[in-house]
């Protein structure tokens, strides 16, 4: 790349990376706060909490990479236009390709990274997360030490420990098991002990009763026992005999060559087709984002020439195209021919933008829409200015009180 192209690439790359990390961080914090019950309700350790939240990071990157590239492109082009750098490039006789090339290289990097994450990393992270959740559900060592609390380990299963005895045994145990729709069970024990060997966890109950109620005929029964073994490894496993994975939890080679005897594949083969096409078509969007937005605002414009409205128009168009692609993806389950539109939509957007970029022309905003977009832009600027003035006034007031 030439010097000016390297300069644009470095500027756009830094902006995109900063936005990517910021967006991923915000989304990760939201996800992490949503899983805080791993510590508060499930009694797990801080390490388990961070492990469960860290494994969702690949999904966050896949969602925000195209958005970060789009915002980074807009920020870079807008900065270059404000600093008259685009004016200098145009005055030198350079074509749109000088500006387009570094952005296309950046889009290629984002596309390859998106493909790597989508085809391989997400499948590994989701499988690991699912396996880790199963291990946490079965690992009740940390839960059982919470004396006096009623802890819902999973839906339909609640455990209560009255006290912990000095020798490590547990006293006053109550287990309410409503996981079976047609039967309710309550386990009572005077004392018990937790035994964990390797991956097996068993709670041995001594001197207690089992209260059973059959919901089909409302009959009840009481079973007394001297010793009973409650297997904790059955937790969180409605289908504990086989660890079934959804299409999203499989790598692309596994989707392309599925096991014909797989029960999930036999029931819903269209989900495999949909997932394959979504992963491959997702790699086209970084190019579509860059080319469309540059076709709208890749050349120097003044505010009077509707530069802000051009950016808004480009982003609105991309949002509409993205929405159409999501609609097509959701329709693949009913009609597999809709998968074609996952490729047609971004390729058509690239072809549309390529025509204007090759002709060294700008996409003009329709005259009827220009006043509307300009008024909306002015209102937005006025609102932001009002909020900024209100904030500054509040800061002055606080400073005056403090002094």
Instruction: Say how many C-beta atoms besides its own lie within 10 A of residue 176's C-beta.
Output: 17
Q: How many CA atoms lie within 13 A of 203 on its CB side?
A: 27
Residues 171, 113, single domain; the answer is no
pLDDT, residue 240, reads: 44
Q: For the stretch 343-374, what's the b/e string if a residue is b when 16 or more beta carbons lie within 10 angstroms of its beta carbon?
A: eebbeebbebbeebbeeeebbebeeeebeebb
Q: Which of 106-120, 144-158, 330-344 has the lowest mean pLDDT?
A: 144-158
Residues 177, 228, single domain; the answer is yes
**Alpha helix locations (H) across 83-187?**
85-91, 96-116, 122-138, 141-144
Whether residue 267 is contained in a domain is answered as: no
Instruction: Say how many C-beta atoms besides its own lie within 10 A of residue 147's C-beta.
Output: 13
CB 367 within 8 A of CB 380: no
Residues 157, 134, single domain; the answer is no
Domain of residue 29 covers 1-140
Whether residue 345 is contained in a domain is answered as: yes
Please determine, for residue 36, whether its predicted confidence score (pLDDT) is greater than 80. Answer: no
Q: What is the mean pLDDT of residues 24-48?
A: 66
Whether residue 240 is contained in a domain is answered as: no
Structure tokens at 150: 């009623």
Residues 149, 229, single domain; the answer is yes
Whether residue 261 is contained in a domain is answered as: no
Per-residue pLDDT band at 239 (split at 50, 70, 90): very low
pLDDT, residue 242, reads: 43
Residues 223, 355, single domain; the answer is no
Residues 104, 150, single domain; the answer is no
pLDDT, residue 182, reads: 82
DSSP of 328-351: HHHHTTT-GGGHHHHHHHHHHHHH
Residues 292, 206, single domain; the answer is no
Q: What is the mean pLDDT of residues 41-52?
A: 62
Whether residue 273 is contained in a domain is answered as: no
Tokens 């904030």 label which residue? 391
Claim: this prediction has a pTM higher than 0.75: no
Q: What is the dihedral of CA 255, 258, 263, 267, to 10 degrees?
A: 60
Q: What is the mean pLDDT of residues 221-240?
A: 72
Max mean pLDDT among 199-203, 262-266, 350-354, 390-394 falls in: 350-354
Length of the chain: 403
Whether residue 66 is contained in a domain is answered as: yes
Residues 166, 122, single domain; the answer is no
Tokens 């090759």 label which residue? 358
Residues 1, 134, single domain; the answer is yes
Per-residue pLDDT band at 346 (split at 50, 70, 90): very high
Whether residue 118 is contained in a domain is answered as: yes
Residues 186, 122, single domain; the answer is no
Please determine, for residue 270, whether its predicted confidence score (pLDDT) is greater than 90. Answer: no
Higher pLDDT pick, 166 / 371 = 166
Residues 30, 124, single domain; the answer is yes
Provide the percentage of residues in the chain whose pLDDT is more than 70. Answer: 80
Please determine, for residue 210, whether its predicted confidence score (pLDDT) is greater than 60. Answer: yes
| Average pLDDT value over all residues in the chain | 80
pLDDT, residue 169, reads: 81
Which phi and psi angles does 92 have, rounded to 5°? -80, -5
Give the end of a domain, one of 140, 171, 206: 140
CB 150 within 8 A of CB 160: yes
Distance of CA 34 to the CA centre of its chain: 13
Q: Which of 244, 52, 75, 58 is nearest to 135 (CA)?
A: 52
Residues 3, 136, single domain; the answer is yes
Per-residue pLDDT band at 236 (split at 50, 70, 90): very low
Reported as a single tens digit per residue, the pLDDT across 7-28 is 889 999 999 999 999 988 888 8
Q: Which of 292, 288, 311, 291 is nearest to 81 (CA)?
A: 311
Which phi and psi angles does 80 have, rounded to 5°? -65, -35
CB 249 within 8 A of CB 123: yes
Distance CA 269, CA 226 (A): 50
Provide the percentage of residues in the chain whose pLDDT is more than 90. Answer: 20
Distance CA 15, CA 106 (A): 11
What's the number of domains the chain is made of?
3
Whether residue 271 is contained in a domain is answered as: no
Reported as a single tens digit per residue, the pLDDT across 119-168 is 888 888 888 777 766 666 555 555 555 677 787 777 788 888 888 787 77
Max mean pLDDT among 30-39, 56-65, 241-250 falls in: 56-65
Based on the number of CB atoms within 10 Å of its own CB, is 390 exposed (0-12), middle (13-18) or buried (19 or more)?
Answer: exposed
């Amino acid at each position: 790349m030439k010097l000016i192209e390297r300069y644009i690439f470095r500027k756009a790359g830094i902006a995109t990376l900063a936005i990517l990390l910021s967006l991923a961080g915000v989304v990760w914090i939201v996800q992490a706060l949503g899983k805080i019950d791993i510590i508060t309700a499930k009694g797990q350790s801080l390490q388990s909490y961070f492990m469960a939240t860290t494994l969702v990071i690949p999904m966050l990157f896949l969602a925000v990479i195209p958005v970060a590239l789009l915002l980074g492109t807009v920020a870079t082009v807008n900065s270059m236009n404000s600093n008259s750098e685009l004016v200098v490039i145009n005055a030198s006789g350079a074509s749109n390709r000088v500006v387009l090339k570094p952005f296309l290289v950046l889009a290629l990097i984002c596309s390859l990274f998106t493909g790597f994450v989508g085809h391989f990393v997400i499948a590994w992270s989701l499988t690991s997360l699912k396996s880790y959740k199963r291990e946490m559900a079965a690992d009740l060592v940390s839960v059982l030490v919470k004396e006096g609390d009623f802890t819902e380990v999973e839906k339909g299963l609640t455990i209560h420990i009255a006290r912990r005895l000095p020798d490590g045994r547990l006293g006053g145990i109550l287990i309410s098991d409503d996981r079976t729709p047609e039967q309710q069970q309550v386990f009572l024990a005077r004392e018990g002990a937790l035994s964990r060997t390797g991956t097996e966890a068993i709670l041995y109950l001594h001197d207690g009763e089992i209260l059973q109620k059959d919901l089909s005929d409302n009959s009840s029964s009481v079973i007394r026992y001297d010793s009973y073994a409650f297997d904790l490894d059955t937790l969180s496993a409605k289908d504990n005999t086989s660890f079934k994975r959804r299409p999203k939890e499989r790598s692309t080679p596994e989707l392309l060559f599925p096991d014909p005897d797989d029960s999930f594949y036999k029931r819903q083969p269209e989900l495999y087709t949909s997932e394959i096409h979504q992963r491959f078509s997702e790699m086209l969007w970084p190019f579509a984002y860059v080319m469309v937005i540059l076709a709208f605002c890749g050349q120097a414009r003044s505010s009077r020439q509707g530069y802000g409205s051009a950016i808004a128009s480009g982003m609105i168009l991309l949002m509409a195209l993205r929405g159409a692609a999501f609609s097509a993806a959701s329709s693949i389950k009913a009609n597999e021919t809709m998968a074609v539109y996952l490729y047609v939509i971004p390729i058509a957007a690239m072809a549309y933008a390529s025509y204007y970029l090759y002709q060294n022309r700008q996409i003009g905003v329709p005259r009827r829409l220009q006043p509307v977009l300009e008024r909306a832009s002015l209102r937005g600027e006025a609102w932001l200015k009002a909020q900024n003035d209100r904030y500054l006034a509040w800061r002055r007031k606080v400073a005056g009180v403090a002094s």
